[in-house]
Amino acid sequence: MKGWMGCGIVAIVLLIVLLAVGGWAIGIYNGLVQKQIAVDGAWAQVENAYQRRADLVPNLVETVKGAAAFEQETFTAVTEARAKVGQMTVTPEILNDPAKFRQFQQAQGELSSALSRLLATVENYPQLRATESFRDLMVQLEGTENRIAVARGDFNGTVQDYNRSIRVFPASMLAGMFGFGPKAFFEAEAGAEKAPKVDFR
C-alpha cells in the first residue's frame, strides 16, 4: 500500500514538473511568435512606404519630362531603377534570407540615387519648380521619404527586439528547435555618413 502511495506521489510530482516545463516552453514559444509577427508587421509598413514612393515616381518623371525633355539619361536611370524595384518579389520570407534582403535594399538604394539625380536636374529649370503640380509632387515625395525613414527605424527596432529574444537564455534553447532564426537589419547606404546637399530654391 505504501509502495503504491509513493509511486502516486512521484507520478504527481513528475506531472507537476512536466506541466510547469510545458507551460514555460509554451510561454516562450508564444512570445517568440508574437515578436516574429511584430517584425512581419513592421516589414509590411516598410513595404507600404516604398510602394508609395514607387507609385509617385512615374508622375514625377512625367512632370519633369515636360520641362526637361533633353535629360533623357536621367529619366532612363529613374525608370530602370523603378522597374528593377518592381521586378523583385517581396515576401516576408525575404527577412530570413540575408542575400535577398541585401538585394532589396540595394534596389531601393539605386532608386533613391536615381531620384536624387533627377531632383538635381530639376535645379536647372526654375520654371518647373514654380509649377503647382511639381511642388505638390515634391511635398508628397518628401513626406514619403520621411515615412520610409520612420518605417525603417521602426523595423530595425522590432528586429533588434526579436533578435535579442532568440539569443538570450533560456529562449535561445527553444528558438533553434522551433526555427526562429535571426532577421536582417536595414543598414545605412554607402556614403550616408556625409550630409547630403539639399537645395529647393
Q: What share of the chain is helix, strand, coil (3-state, %, to 5)?
A: 80, 0, 20
Residue 20 belongs to a domain: no
In degrees to the nearest 10, what's the CA dihedral of 174, 177, 178, 184?
Answer: 90
User: Among candidates 57, 59, 60, which has minimal Cα distance to 83?
Assistant: 57
CA pair distance 22, 18, nearest whole angstrom: 6
167 in a structural domain: yes
Q: What angle do CA 49, 54, 58 make, to 5 degrees?
A: 145
Residue 144 placed within a domain: yes
8 Å CB contact between 199 and 123: yes
Q: Is residue 12 assigned to a domain? A: no
Give domain status of residue 4, yes or no. no
Domain count, the chain: 1
Residue 151: the pLDDT is 95
Other beta carbons less than 10 A from residue 110's beta carbon:
18
Residue at 88 is within a domain: yes
Residue 156 inside a domain? The answer is: yes
The domain spanning residue 86 has which CATH number?
Answer: 1.20.1440.20
Over the stretch 142-201, which tens digit does the pLDDT of each residue have? 999 999 999 999 999 999 999 999 999 888 888 888 889 999 898 876 554 444 444 444
Contact between residue 72 and residue 79 where contact means Cβ atoms under 8 Å apart: no
> Would 7 be classed as within a structural domain?
no
Cell numbers at 69, concatenated: 525633355
Tens of each residue's pLDDT in the chain, 201 residues = 556 666 777 778 788 888 878 888 888 999 999 999 999 999 999 999 999 998 988 888 888 877 666 567 787 888 888 888 888 877 777 888 888 888 889 999 999 988 888 888 777 777 777 788 888 888 898 999 999 999 999 999 999 999 999 999 888 888 888 889 999 898 876 554 444 444 444
The pLDDT score that the predictor gives to residue 150 is 95
Instruction: Give residue 160's domain range.
Output: 31-177
The whole-angstrom distance between residue 45's C-alpha and the CA centroid of its chain comes to 7
- Cα R_g (the chain), whole angstroms: 26
